[in-house]
Amino acid sequence: MSQDSLLGRISGDVDRDRDTIVDFMVKMLKIKAINPRSGGPGESKRADLIENYLKDEGFTVSRVDVPDAASPTGSRPNLIVKLDGQDKSKTLWYAVHMDTVTEGSRDLWKTDPFDPVVKDGKIFARGSIDDGQPLVAALFALRELKKIGAKLPFNVGVAFVSDEETGSDYGAKYLLSHNYFGKKDLFIVPDDGSPDGVNVELAEKSMLWVKVTVIGKQVHASLPRKGLNAHRIGMKLALELDEKLHEKYNARNKLFQEETLSTFEPTKVKANVDNVNTIPGVDLFYFDCRVLPEYSLEEVLTDFNVIAEKFKEEYGADTFVEPVSRDDAGPETLIESEVVKLAMRGIKFVTKKELRLVGIGGLTVANLFRKASYSAVVWSTINDIAHEPNEYCVIDNLINDTKVFATIPLMAD
Using CB atoms within 10 Å of the CB of residue 49, give its burial: 0 to 12 exposed, 13 to 18 middle, 19+ buried: middle
Second CATH level (architecture) for the domain 206-327: 2-Layer Sandwich (3.30)
pLDDT at 3: 67
- The Cα–Cα gap between 76 and 161 comes to 9
pLDDT at 117: 98
Average pLDDT of the residues in 309-332? 96
Among all residues, which ones are annotated catalytic? 99, 164
User: What are the start and end residues of each CATH 3.30.70.360 domain in the chain?
Assistant: 206-327
User: What are the start and end residues of each CATH 3.40.630.10 domain in the chain?
Assistant: 3-204+329-411
Question: Mean of the per-residue pLDDT values for the chain?
Answer: 95
**Residue 1 clears pLDDT 60, i.e. is over it:** no
**Residue 380 clears pLDDT 80, i.e. is over it:** yes
Residues 6 or more apart whose Cβ sits within 8 Å of residue 388? none
State the pLDDT confidence band at 62, using cuts at 50, 70 and 90. very high
Average pLDDT of the residues in 360-380? 95
Question: What percentage of the chain exceeds 70 in pLDDT?
Answer: 98
Handedness of CA 94, 44, 178, 62 (dihedral sign): negative
**Residue 17 clears pLDDT 70, i.e. is over it:** yes
Secondary structure of the chain in HEC code, one letter for each residue: CCHHHHHHHHHHHHHHCHHHHHHHHHHHHCCCCECHHHCCCCCHHHHHHHHHHHHHCCCCEEEEEEECCCCCCCEEEEEEEEECCCEEEEEEEEEEECCECCCCCHHHCCCCCCCCEEECCEEECCCHHHHHHHHHHHHHHHHHHHHCCCCCCEEEEEEEECCHHHCCCCCHHHHHHCCCCCCCCEEEECCCCECCCCEEEEEECEEEEEEEEEECECEECCCHHHCECHHHHHHHHHHHHHHHHHHHCCCCCCCCCCCCCCEEEEEEEECCCCCCCEECCEEEEEEEEEECCCCCHHHHHHHHHHHHHHHHHHHCCEEEEEEEEEECCCCCCCCCCHHHHHHHHHHHHHHCCCCEEEEECCCCCHHHHHHCCCCEEECCECCCCCCCCCCEEEHHHHHHHHHHHHHHHHHCC
Task: Give 3-204+329-411's CATH code, choosing from 3.10.350.10, 3.40.630.10, 3.90.1180.10, 3.30.230.10.
Answer: 3.40.630.10
Average pLDDT of the residues in 295-324? 97
pLDDT at 384: 86
Average pLDDT of the residues in 380-406? 96
State the pLDDT confidence band at 8, using cuts at 50, 70 and 90. confident
Average pLDDT of the residues in 295-305? 97
Poorest-confidence range of 22-26, 354-358, 362-366?
Answer: 362-366
Average pLDDT of the residues in 254-272? 87
**Residue 260 clears pLDDT 80, i.e. is over it:** no
Give the angle 96-101-104 at the CA atoms, nearest 5°.
155
pLDDT tens digits for 113-166?
999 999 999 999 999 999 999 999 999 999 999 999 989 999 999 999 999 998
- The Cα–Cα gap between 294 and 395 comes to 38
pLDDT tens digits for 92-127?
999 999 999 999 999 999 999 999 999 999 999 999
Q: CA distances (Å), 218 to each of 41, 271, 274, 275, 319, in order?
A: 43, 14, 12, 12, 15
pLDDT tens digits for 195-237?
999 999 999 999 999 999 999 999 999 999 999 999 999 999 9
- Strand 376-378 with 186-189, pairing: parallel
Which residue type is seen at 327?
A: D
Q: Select from 331, 329, 264, 330 the least CA-distant residue to 303.
A: 264
Phi, psi of 343 (to 5 degrees): -60, -45
pLDDT at 5: 75
Which residue type is seen at 206?
A: S
pLDDT at 363: 86
- The Cα–Cα gap between 379 and 209 comes to 26
Average pLDDT of the residues in 297-323? 97
What b/e sequence results for 264-279 when a residue is b if at least 16 CB atoms lie within 10 Å of its CB, and e otherwise? Answer: bebeeeeebeeeeeeb
